[in-house]
Amino acid sequence: MPENQNQSANSQTLAIDADEFNFDTIEQRDGMATVVRFKVENPEVKPGDVLVILQDKEIHFHGLISRIEDGWAIASDRHGSMLPAVIH
């Protein structure tokens, strides 16, 4: 059976400071972003990787990157997000 070249057995964590994280809110709950869309500059980032958004040392968003298309990624944190929803 051929291996899928788009997925790796190892995932990585993409940690970004909240003040530097530019995103669009796709879904929100109680004013917190639960699904976000953001630009991916690093070609090594892939679906299955984890996105962590930090404010100081506190985690505000911890979610799985589910999809990347045309340089934009989608990540979800439906249960613990403390990332304020951004409405554009």
Residue spans per domain, the chain: 13-76
Write the pLDDT tens digit of every residue in 53-76.
999 999 999 999 999 999 999 999
- Residues in CB range of 11: below 8 A, 6 or more apart: 48, 49, 50
The conformation of residue 20, written as its DSSP 8-state character, comes to G
State the pLDDT confidence band at 8, using cuts at 50, 70 and 90: low
70: region left, alpha or beta (phi > 0 left; psi from -120 to 50 alpha): left
Write the pLDDT tens digit of every residue in 37-52.
999 999 999 999 999 9
* Domain 13-76 of CATH type 2.40.240: yes
- Give this prediction's pTM: 0.85
